Amino acid sequence: EAQVTQNPRYLITVTGKKLTVTCSQNMNHEYMSWYRQDPGLGLRQIYYSMNVEVTDKGDVPEGYKVSRKEKRNFPLILESPSPNQTSLYFCASSSTVTGGFGANVLTFGAGSRLTVL
């Protein structure tokens, strides 16, 4: 089954304790991205990656890091979490073949709800 898998689904942590949210896709998609969802703000892009070793900032990158060492994986790292990073996080991937079937259509993971105390 084509899917994006992210873990953990739920996490409660404390300020300053480093954490990593993993994301893996099995569709051989070039493009992967992280979003955070907050009430009234919709989904805001944190970081994205066009391919292995190619990453770039989205609209709200402060406090986050990413890496893309393998095509299928795109972990999100919070080096020193703070309470304002309490949010629902989604990883997504898509094909980037211009004009192709499924191009730019995002497949999302199930979401990771993070609470930073």
Contacts of 4 (CB under 8 A, 6+ apart): 23, 24, 25, 27, 91, 92, 93, 107, 108, 109
Q: Are strands 42-51 and 107-108 parallel, antiparallel or unpaired?
A: unpaired
Q: Shortest Cβ distance from residue 31 to another protein (Å)?
A: 7
The verdict on 11 binding another protein (CB under 8 A) reads no
Enumerate helices (H) and strands (E) in the chain, giving the number of each: 0, 11
Q: Shortest Cβ distance from residue 113 to another protein (Å)?
A: 8
Nearer to another protein, 19 or 50 (CB): 50
Contact positions vs another protein (CB under 8 A)? 31, 33, 35, 40-45, 48, 50, 56, 58, 88, 90, 92, 94, 96, 98-99, 103-108, 110-111
